[in-house]
């Protein structure tokens, strides 16, 4: 009886300790409740054979997947909302500046020779160019923010991978000794879930309770006690568009588009929404500046001189060279002229010279390829641009990255400072003639963008597209949040601490402990009675 009582008290004491641990950790995220597992010895006494960690692999995996989806949806929706605000807010929208510029042209029709009207046109043109500059600057700032987010997230992911590898080492050692604590396993699962927010993680649990982590594409992040390293590298062909690589210790592999998590979301938004929006804005700046300058060149100013440019020349030597980047191994340089702004797209291109010296143009990224005709003067013309050799000579294997609208919105400026130089007249000897001014005003509603949209319509379409993307992203976020909450609720219901249940257990184990103490007391009294005979 005494042995049974002592064993029962010991088992109850252990259960009380486990229960108190559960209660103390009830608010700790990722804590899995524990319970003492009883068994009977060959002599019939009870003993605690193990401290069991209550969990469910399916629910753990479900929570990790939900974290990954939520990480992606949160990052994408946040960036999309930011861009929508940039483009559509009253303070930032391009439309008021566009309207004000054309309204100043309409007002000048009352007296084309009046200096006040002319100065107002210059002022509104300045404001319009400044608004293009500001919008472009804000988009570039958002690109910089994304690069900074990528840097921070890569560092965080690498720290988590290193921590997981260290946990694997501790768990393997503890497993070999036959005593892996539940706290270590909780920390393991918590680390995997945190990593899942950043990248997609395929977790493979081993017999020794360690976990190997792989990307969805199969590249290893953590194997046993070793962690690889995610790298943030310059993009190719655009070095500013950062890409991810994985350093395995023997080689560096550029990671594709199936990384998952918030890291994938940042790059997807940048590539699929942000850069296309900037390209659209640059195209609008080019189209507007080109058509206004072209129309002014057809008129005459107050002195009867041919019209000068209002905006900076879209085909300055600097601009033409800036639109082409010679890629690694290419010595030649191209010049890119805007030959027909009405045919401009918002695309970028890769131009590669094949073994026969024939240029092959590919819409970048991932678009169709075609072979343009080479004219008699050696130039290539397509989609409103003309490519010519600026330096060196073209060789098979050369490649070039072409950005037709590069920095057009950022660099747009008014270069005219004398309002009398505005060429409103169609006749050199009729300064009061407003025929060219009327033609300038007509540009407001003219289909200048690919022959289909006015500049204002193109901007409004961009705002609508980004708004639609944001609305879809918010729906994805809300859906991902619901799945995340449900997955974690399922896991919590299985592995979490129920305070009512633990309070009940306290009473049970206290009573068990007291009852076993009474068994010992009764056995002691019986022994004393026997000894007293």
Helices 115-176 and 182-198, packing angle to 10 deg: 150
For the beta carbon of residue 207, count every other beta carbon within 10 angstroms. 6
- Please state the rounded mean pLDDT for residues 408-422: 97
Q: How far apart are CA 228 and CA 226, in angstroms?
A: 7
**Is 495 a residue whose pLDDT tops 70?**
no
Between the alpha carbon of residue 285 and those of residues 23, 123, 132, 448, 457, the distances in Å are: 64, 17, 7, 11, 13
Residue 403: both structure tokens together: 């950005």
* Structure confidence at residue 307 (pLDDT): 94
With cut-offs at 50, 70 and 90, classify the pLDDT of residue 501. confident
Above pLDDT 90, what percent of the chain? 69
pLDDT band at 137 (very low <50, low <70, confident <90, very high): very high
Q: Across all residues in the chain, what is the average pLDDT?
A: 91
| 242 in Cβ contact with 164 (< 8 Å) | no
Where does the pLDDT of residue 223 fall: very low under 50, low under 70, confident under 90, or very high at 90 and above?
very high
pLDDT value at residue 405: 96
* Whether the predicted pLDDT of 367 surpasses 90: no
pLDDT cut 70: percent of the chain above it: 98
pLDDT tens per residue across span 278-316: 999 999 999 999 999 999 999 999 999 999 999 999 999
What confidence tens digit (pLDDT) does each residue in 168-184 have? 999 999 888 887 788 88
Task: List, in order, residues 6 or more apart from 92 with CB less than 8 Å away.
Answer: 85, 86, 134, 135, 138
* Residue 496 confidence (pLDDT): 65
pLDDT of residue 304: 94
d(CA 137, CA 352): 31
Residue tagged 């953590």 (tokens): 222
pLDDT attached to residue 365? 83
14 has pLDDT over 90:
no
Strand pairing partners for 35?
A: 52
Q: Bigger pLDDT: 419 or 10?
A: 419
Determine which of 119-123, 219-223, 426-430, 493-497 has the lowest per-residue pLDDT on average.
Answer: 493-497
Strand ranges inside 3-104, DSSP E: 34-40, 46-53
**pTM, rounded to two decimals:** 0.88
| Beta carbons of 487 and 66 less than 8 angstroms apart | yes
Q: In terms of pLDDT, which residue wins out, 89 or 257?
A: 89
Assess whether pLDDT exceeds 70 at residue 205.
Answer: yes
Which pLDDT belongs to residue 22? Answer: 67
Q: What is the pLDDT of residue 120?
A: 98
Q: Which residues contact 117 (CB under 8 A, 6 or more apart)?
A: 104, 107, 108, 110, 111
CA distance 533 to 521: 19
Q: Which residue has the higher pLDDT, 215 or 488?
A: 215
DSSP string, 261-307: HHHHHHHHHIIIIIHHHHHHHHHHHHHHHHHHHHHHHTSB-TTSPBP
Q: How confident is the model at residue 246 (pLDDT cuts 50, 70, 90)?
A: very high
pLDDT of residue 336 exceeding 90: yes
Whole-number pLDDT of residue 28: 75
Residue 523, pLDDT score? 74
pLDDT at residue 9, as a whole number: 82
Per-residue pLDDT tens over the stretch 378-387: 899 999 999 9
- Mind giving me the DSSP string for 413-437? -B----GGG---BSSTT-TT--HHH
Q: Please say if the pLDDT value at position 94 is more than 80.
A: yes
Categorise residue 56: left if φ over 0, alpha if ψ from -120 to 50, beta otherwise.
Answer: beta
Residue 529 has pLDDT above 90, yes or no: no
Which helix H or strand E contains 214, and what residues bound it?
strand 211-214
Mean pLDDT in residue range 183-209: 93
User: Is residue 130 within 8 Å of 101, Cβ to Cβ?
Assistant: no
pLDDT at 483: 96
499 compared with 262, residue with greater pLDDT: 262
Find how far residue 367's CA is from the centre of its chain. Answer: 21
pLDDT at 40 over 90: no
As beta bridge partners, residue 349 has: 363, 402
Whole-angstrom Cα distance, residue 69 to residue 333? 44
pLDDT at 210 over 90: yes
pLDDT score recorded for residue 10: 80
Query: Which pLDDT score, from 0 to 100, does residue 54 have?
Result: 74
Per-residue pLDDT, averaged over 466-481, amounts to 97
Q: CA separation (Å) from 416 to 40, 119, 262, 425? A: 97, 11, 47, 17
Residue 119's pLDDT band (boundaries 50, 70, 90)? very high
């Amino acid at each position: 009886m005494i042995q049974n009582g002592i064993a029962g008290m010991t088992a109850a004491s252990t259960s009380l300790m486990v229960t108190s641990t559960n209660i103390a950790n009830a608010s700790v995220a990722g804590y899995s409740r524990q319970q003492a597992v009883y068994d009977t010895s060959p002599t019939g006494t009870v003993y605690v054979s193990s401290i069991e960690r209550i969990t469910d692999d399916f629910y753990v995996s479900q929570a990790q997947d939900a974290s990954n989806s939520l990480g992606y949806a949160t990052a994408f929706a946040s960036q999309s909302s930011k861009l929508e605000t940039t483009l559509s807010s009253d303070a930032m929208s391009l439309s008021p500046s566009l309207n004000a510029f054309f309204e100043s042209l309409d007002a000048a029709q009352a007296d084309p020779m009046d200096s006040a009207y002319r100065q107002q046109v210059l002022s509104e043109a300045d404001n319009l160019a400044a608004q293009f500059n500001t919008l472009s600057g804000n988009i570039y700032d958002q690109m910089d923010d994304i690069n900074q987010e990528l840097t921070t997230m890569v560092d965080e992911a690498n720290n988590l991978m290193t921590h997981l590898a260290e946990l694997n080492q501790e768990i393997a050692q503890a497993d070999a000794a036959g005593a892996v604590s539940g706290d270590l396993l909780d920390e393991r699962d918590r680390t995997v879930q945190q990593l899942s927010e950043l990248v997609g993680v395929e977790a493979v649990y081993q017999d020794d309770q360690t976990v190997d982590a792989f990307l969805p594409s199969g590249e290893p992040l953590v194997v046993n006690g070793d962690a690889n390293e995610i790298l943030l590298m310059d993009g190719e062909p655009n070095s500013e568009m950062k890409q991810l690589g994985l350093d395995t210790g023997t080689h560096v592999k550029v990671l594709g588009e199936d990384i998952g998590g918030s890291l994938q979301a940042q790059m997807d938004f940048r590539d699929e929404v942000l850069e296309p929006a900037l390209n659209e804005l640059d195209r609008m700046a080019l189209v507007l500046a080109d058509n206004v300058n072209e129309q002014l060149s057809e008129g005459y100013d107050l002195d009867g001189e041919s019209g000068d440019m209002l905006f900076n020349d879209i085909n300055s030597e600097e601009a033409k060279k800036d639109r082409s980047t010679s890629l690694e191994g290419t010595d030649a340089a191209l010049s890119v002229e805007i030959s027909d702004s009405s045919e401009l797209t918002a695309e970028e291109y890769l131009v590669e010279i094949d073994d026969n010296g024939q240029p092959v143009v590919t819409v970048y990224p991932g678009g169709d390829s075609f072979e343009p005709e080479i004219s008699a003067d050696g130039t290539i013309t397509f989609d409103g641009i003309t490519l010519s050799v600026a330096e060196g000579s073209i060789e098979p294997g050369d490649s070039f990255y072409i950005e037709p609208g590069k920095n057009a919105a950022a660099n747009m400026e008014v270069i005219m400072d004398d309002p009398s130089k505005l060429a409103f007249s169609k006749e050199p000897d009729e300064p009061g003639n407003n025929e060219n001014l009327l033609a300038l005003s007509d540009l407001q509603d003219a289909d200048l963008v690919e022959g289909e949209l006015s500049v204002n319509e193109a901007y409004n379409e961009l705002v609508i597209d980004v708004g639609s993307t944001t609305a879809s992203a918010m729906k994805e976020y809300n859906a991902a949040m619901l799945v995340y909450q449900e997955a974690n609720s399922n896991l919590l219901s299985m592995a979490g601490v129920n305070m009512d249940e633990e309070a009940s257990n306290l009473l049970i184990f206290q009573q068990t402990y007291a009852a076993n103490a009474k068994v010992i007391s009764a056995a002691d009294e019986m022994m004393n009675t026997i000894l007293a005979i």
